[in-house]
Amino acid sequence: MTPSQTLRAAHSAEWEAIAGHPFTIALAGGSLPPARLAWYLVQDYAFIDGFVRLAASAIATAPSLADSVPLAQFLAVITGPENTYFQRAFDLLDVPRADRVAPRLAPQTKAFQALMAEAAASGEYGRMIAVLTVAEWSYLSWATPHNPPAPDLPFQFAEWITLHAGPGFEAVVAYLRGQLDAAWERADPDLRARMQADFARAVRLERAFFDAAWQAG
Ligand SMILES: Cc1ncc(CN)c(N)n1
């Protein structure tokens, strides 16, 4: 197994809980109540703030330009089409401006922001890539079984699926896993332990984030 496969296999039960979470199943079926989707998107937009900073830090510490280009291109998707999706969904769901720019953060969002900030501040590319990989790979896992979405599924559900599935997103995850595998091979045992701990923390937090969203609203 590759290092990324081994890391994921160590958390297979939690990974499956994310991939088949009732929140994502309701989202894909179009039955997710608007208040729950709004809660999730408000918290996730705050998550995206930390994610963009973490990705930018990873770009700044990547071993080479070639290693950083795919992440820089992915960052353009997040700050482009994905950011536009958030604005359109907020408008549809009548999310107040204050909740878009300065929401009250749930404990799960704060915990995720803390992990991303710690990984970025560490200056260690391997730790940054470990967290980024969990975030995108776990989303590919839940979204893929629902792609393509039903043609009549409203955009606020359908586009959240298509942003996280399909060949373009699969290539992003393959790139991140390749970076994680290479960083792992370069890392000494102490750094590997930190990468492992960050990977585990990120998996726990992804699940906790969906659990909180499912109970919200
Ligand atoms: C919490 C979380 N994790 C991952 C993703 C996928 N970018 C997201 N939007 N939100």
User: What pLDDT digit, counting tens, does each position of 191-202 carry?
Assistant: 999 999 999 999
Atom of ligand 1 nearest to the CA of 138: 4
Q: Is 170 annotated as a binding residue?
A: no
Residue 152 Cα, ligand 1 centroid: separation in angstroms? 24
pLDDT at 183 (0 to 100):
98
Mean pLDDT of 118-143: 98
Cα–Cα distance between 87 and 77 in angstroms, integer?
A: 14
Q: Is 44 annotated as a binding residue?
A: yes
Cβ-defined contacts of 152-161 (< 8 Å, 24+): 153/28, 153/30, 154/30, 155/88, 155/89, 156/37, 156/88, 156/89, 156/92, 156/93, 157/27, 157/28, 157/30, 157/32, 157/37, 159/85, 160/27, 160/85, 161/27, 161/28
pLDDT at 137 (0 to 100):
98
> Which residue has its alpha carbon closest to ligand 1 atom 5?
135
Task: Label residue 21 by pLDDT band (50, 70, 90).
Answer: very high
Classify 94 as helix, strand or coil: coil
Amino acid letter, residue 53: R
Instruction: Report the sign of the C-alpha dihedral through residues 75, 50, 106, 215, in that order.
Output: positive
Task: Label residue 30 by pLDDT band (50, 70, 90).
Answer: very high
Q: What is the pTM (predicted TM-score) of this model?
A: 0.98
Residue 47 Cα, ligand 1 centroid: separation in angstroms? 7
End-to-end CA distance of the chain: give it in Å, rounded: 41
CA distances from 38 to 42, 83, 86, 141 (A): 6, 15, 10, 22
Q: Does residue 213 carry a pLDDT above 80?
A: yes
Residue 209 Cα, ligand 1 centroid: separation in angstroms? 9
Cα–Cα distance between 21 and 88 in angstroms, integer?
A: 25
